[in-house]
């Protein structure tokens, strides 16, 4: 539903581009992480730190798409100055092409958290997320597990950034290994973890 709502938003924006000449440039960000984030990749980081995630969900071999918040903002600013970009869609993602299991292990190593060397099937995790969301809704709190987030762990979500880079954009954080240590250090400094 989340991706569908974003696609509908793009379609509406491009209708204004076609009918009114409104200069529209669309960016499609990968999973955003970085300082101040409490969503997306921040969720498994918080879960690892609190001891709620000590295993690899699913096979862990699906490739994720990641983007540091700095690169999302910088790419948007960069594209806004490119007349050739008007009327086009650009993926904003880093070059990681890292499997999700490897990303979780990277976060765990940066947090110095102990992980069990096991893979837990994704179906029971989805059931737990459904129960958590239902109970959380009744209690009026944010769920620990979200089904939409779990959905990213059983499919590839890697995004090709070639089009963005072909215009000359250079990633400040080209891989998750470049940006995640700084992000976790920021969380620690703020007392979030």
H/E/C letters for each residue in 56-114? Answer: EECCCCCECCEEEHHHHHHHHHHHHCCHHHCCCEEEECCCCCCEHHHHHHHHHHHHCCC
The predicted model gives 17-41 an average pLDDT of 92
Strand partners, 32: 67
How many other β-carbons are positioned within 10 Å of the β-carbon of residue 81? Answer: 7
Quote the pTM value.
Answer: 0.87
Strand partners, 31: 66
Q: What is the pLDDT of residues 109-136, one digit of tens each?
A: 999 999 998 899 988 888 988 998 999 9
Flag whether pLDDT at 168 surpasses 90. yes
What per-residue confidence (pLDDT) applies to 149?
A: 77
* 18 against 1, higher pLDDT: 18
User: Helix or strand or coil: residue 183?
Assistant: helix
The predicted model gives 160-166 an average pLDDT of 97
What per-residue confidence (pLDDT) applies to 82?
A: 96
Rg over CA atoms, the chain: 18
What per-residue confidence (pLDDT) applies to 75?
A: 98
Cβ-in-10-Å burial (0-12, 13-18, 19+) of 121 comes to exposed
Flag whether pLDDT at 1 surpasses 90. no
DSSP state letters, 134-189 = HHHHHHTS--SS-HHHHHGGGS------HHHHHTT---SS-SHHHHHHHHHHHHHH
User: In angstroms, rounded to a whole number, what is the distance separating the alpha carbons of residues 56 and 8?
Assistant: 33
Strand partners, 26: 89
- Decide: 31 and 157 in contact? Cβ < 8 Å: yes
| Average pLDDT, rounded, for the chain | 92
Flag whether pLDDT at 94 surpasses 90. yes
């Amino acid at each position: 539903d989340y991706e569908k709502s974003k696609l509908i938003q793009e379609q509406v924006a491009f209708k204004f581009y076609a009918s009114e000449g409104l200069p529209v440039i669309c960016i499609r960000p990968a999973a955003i992480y970085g300082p101040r984030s409490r969503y997306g990749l921040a969720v498994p980081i918080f879960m690892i730190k609190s001891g709620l995630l000590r295993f690899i969900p699913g096979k862990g071999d699906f490739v994720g798409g990641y983007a540091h918040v700095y690169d999302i903002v910088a790419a948007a600013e960069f594209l806004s100055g490119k007349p050739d970009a008007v009327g086009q869609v650009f993926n904003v993602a880093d070059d990681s092409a890292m499997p999700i299991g490897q990303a979780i292990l990277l976060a765990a190593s940066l947090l110095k958290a102990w992980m069990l060397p096991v893979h837990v099937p994704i179906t029971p995790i989805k059931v737990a997320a459904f129960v958590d969301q239902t109970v959380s809704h009744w209690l009026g709190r944010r769920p620990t597990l979200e089904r939409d987030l779990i959905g990213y762990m059983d499919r590839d979500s890697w995004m090709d950034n070639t089009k963005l880079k072909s215009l000359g954009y250079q990633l400040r954080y080209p891989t998750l290994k470049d940006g995640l240590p700084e992000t976790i250090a920021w969380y620690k400094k703020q007392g979030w973890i």
